[in-house]
Amino acid sequence: MLKEFSIRTSQQVEFMKLTGQIQKLLDESGIQEGICYIYIPHTTAGITINEGADPDVVRDMTMELNKIVPIEDGYRHAEGNSAAHIKASMMGSSVSVIIEDGKLVLGTWQAIFFCEFDGPRTRRVLVRFN
């Protein structure tokens, strides 16, 4: 019941669309109704649902998140990626989407985005249908 796939990010801070891969897992499962949980098992990356049509939206989001949580700001954590940890918690580590008639019930403009805050890296995405 626990599904998993990997993605490769290419920027330090980057939002990457996951909707297609998750709908594909749902199609393969044959599940018609329930809840789809998507979980990110990382501490410098998160997940969010936002506009998928105009790529300027996620560009503005990453730009503004970098202003709100500056990459350098007198942090103590020796690895130097505290800003990434903070942004990960601001976006969250999971989203829940309703399933109806075998489809993810998303709004017209919504897409599911992996939020990379300390890339580029290979990352894992966990999915469970309940």
Binding site for its own copies (CB under 8 A): 1-2, 33-35, 37, 39-43, 48-51, 54, 56-57, 59-61, 63-65, 67-69, 73-79, 82-83, 85-86, 88-98, 100, 105-110, 124, 126, 128, 130
Residue 39: CB minimum distance to its own copies, A: 6
Q: Are the beta carbons of 106 and 18 closer than 8 angstroms?
A: no
Structure tokens at 15: 């939002």
Q: Which are the contacts of 88, defined by CB distance < 8 A and separation ≥ 6?
A: 40, 42, 43, 44, 45, 46, 115, 117
Residue 44: CB minimum distance to its own copies, A: 8
CB-wise, 2 or 122, nearer to its own copies? 2
CB-wise, 12 or 57, nearer to its own copies? 57
Residue 24: CB minimum distance to its own copies, A: 19
In angstroms, what CA-CA distances link 74 with 11, 77, 87, 119, 123? 23, 9, 16, 21, 27
